[in-house]
Amino acid sequence: MWICECGILQDVSLQCAKGCDVVFASCLSACRRANMAASGCRGVRSILWKYGSYGNNLFVSRSKMVPQLPLRQIYVASSLWKKNLAAAGPQKFTQEFIDKQVEEFEVGKRHLANMMGEDPETFTQEDIDRSIAYLFPSGLFEKRARPVMKHPEEIFPKQTAIQWDAEGRPFHFLFYTGKQSYYSLLHDVYEKILAIERHQDKMRNKGLFTSDTKQILLTGSRWLLKEEIEENLVENISVQDYMRLIQLMELLLSMPYCSLEEEFILKFRKQLEVQSSKYEIPALQYDPQGVAFSVADGRRKSAKASITLRDSGSGNITINGRNYLHYFPVLQNREQLMFPLLFVGMMGRFDIEGSVEGSGHSAQAGALRLAISRALLSFVSEGEVEKMRQAGLLTADPRIRERKKPGQEGARKKFTWKKR
């Protein structure tokens, strides 16, 4: 074994993998004399034994090589010496390089305009694309593989701007933590907590401390999600970091005088939209007698239903021209029809006229129920609409029949399993 000039412990091969020449001329000449190939190790061993004391030829003698020690052959894979390209990460470009590319793009744009016989001053990106498509016609299907000439801003990935000044001093005082925006946010939140504590102490000293102060309204809003906070901070944070931030905000909220920092806290809360406002309520119509009625549709599995709900009625239900007792002999289906009216408490008020087709009796009952609920929206107040939504009356049942799969008896049932 010996150590070549780049400091790598060498095995019996004569040349270092990095390509630098082995330093020991004496060893080299001796090896050449012995007609050494890379494989023959016994010959080298004997020579190394003879030239045991390396003396001044040795560049670095880390271990005192005693000639009597048996020499071990170490095999090292060549992949160790190759550069690990994956570990370097995405390629980074310097600002000078990008500026040069921009310059070249501008010059090239003018050349292109001249080539196409157009005015270089008013040559837009669409003109460039057109010209390139004309000059370099490509039959490739993949649009992204075709020749393209775009501004370097669009081609090179955006990198964060240099975060220090001309002398190398970073701008932000928490730069060396790695996550400067996130930690500075934590710092500010803690600052506010301390400010509120000081305020509390002042009030206590004056004897004006009370626990029932103006509280911040938090109903109807939620904390910002981790992704939204990452977007605001322009840097990535981990789940634990996010949880720590929410913990600190909750701590801030738990203090009696937190209303001092209300607007700061509300920046981190997002208002939830009221879901019930999303439903389109069918218009309330009036027939020639002045009676109000509304029409609505509903679907379940493959059953389609259409309902007309008439006001000032006596609770008669007619489906497909027949009385509902005749159409739905099963009690469960009749209960499904009743339920929306029972829920809003308008049982005997309406006359229902409906038509339904498709699927089976249960699905038809479900379709009718949805249609009745939707028709009821125009007779009912805003708060009731929200209640109906939460009761699940306005949600269309998404379940459909699952397909049969090959190799199985049905959708889930498998063929008989035989052990052998």
Partner 1 sequence: MQCYGFIGLKHTITHNAALFLTLSGRSSKGNMAAGVLTGVRQVLRGPRLVSAVFSCHGQTFSSAAAAPDTAAAEKILNFPLTQPDYFRLSELFTLKDLFEARVHLGHKKGCRHRLMEPYLFGSRLDTDIIDLEQTAEHLQRALNFTAHVAYRGGIILFVSRRRQFGHLIETTARECGEYAHTRYWKGGLLTNASIQYSPGVRLPDLILFFSTLNNVFQQHVGIRDAAKMNIPTVGIVDSNCNPSLITYPVPGNDDTPVAMEMYCRLFKMTINRAKDKRRQMELLKGISASV
Binding range to partner 1, per CB under 8 A, among 112-120, 160-168, 276-284, 325-333: 160-168
d(CA 16, CA 22): 7
With beta carbons less than 8 A apart as the criterion, state whether 62 and 87 touch.
Answer: no
Nearer to partner 1, 231 or 335 (CB): 231
CA angle (223 as vertex; 245, 198 as ends), nearest 5: 55
> Is residue 194 a contact residue for partner 1 (CB under 8 A)?
yes
> Is residue 89 a contact residue for partner 1 (CB under 8 A)?
yes
With beta carbons less than 8 A apart as the criterion, state whether 94 and 30 touch.
Answer: no
Among 21, 103, 153, 235, binds partner 1 (CB under 8 A): 235
Nearer to partner 1, 165 or 273 (CB): 165
Among residue numbers 109 through 148, which ones bind partner 1 (CB under 8 A)? none
Among residue numbers 267 through 326, which ones bind partner 1 (CB under 8 A)? 267
d(CA 370, CA 376): 10
Nearer to partner 1, 93 or 279 (CB): 93
Dihedrals φ, ψ of 135, to 5°? -75, -35
Structure tokens at 261: 């920092």
Nearer to partner 1, 77 or 87 (CB): 87
Nearer to partner 1, 89 or 348 (CB): 89
The CB-of-218 to partner 1 minimum distance in angstroms stands at: 18
Nearer to partner 1, 58 or 174 (CB): 174
In angstroms, the Cα distances linking 81 to 4, 5, 41, 90 are 14, 15, 22, 21
CA angle (377 as vertex; 382, 346 as ends), nearest 5: 95
Burial of 231 (0-12, 13-18, 19+ CB in 10 A): exposed
- DSSP label of 359: S
Binding range to partner 1, per CB under 8 A, among 130-138, 187-195, 394-402, 403-411: 187-195
The CB-of-136 to partner 1 minimum distance in angstroms stands at: 33
* Cα 71 → chain centroid: 56
> Is residue 184 a contact residue for partner 1 (CB under 8 A)?
yes
Shortest CA distance to 1 belongs to which of 55, 37, 54?
54
Letters for 258-277 (x = contact with partner 1 by CB under 8 A, - = none) are: ---------x----------
Structure tokens at 27: 């060893």
Letters for 162-181 (x = contact with partner 1 by CB under 8 A, - = none) are: xxxxxxxxxxxxxxxxxxxx
Q: Which residues bind partner 1 (CB under 8 A)?
A: 89, 92, 95-96, 160-185, 187, 190-191, 194, 232-235, 267
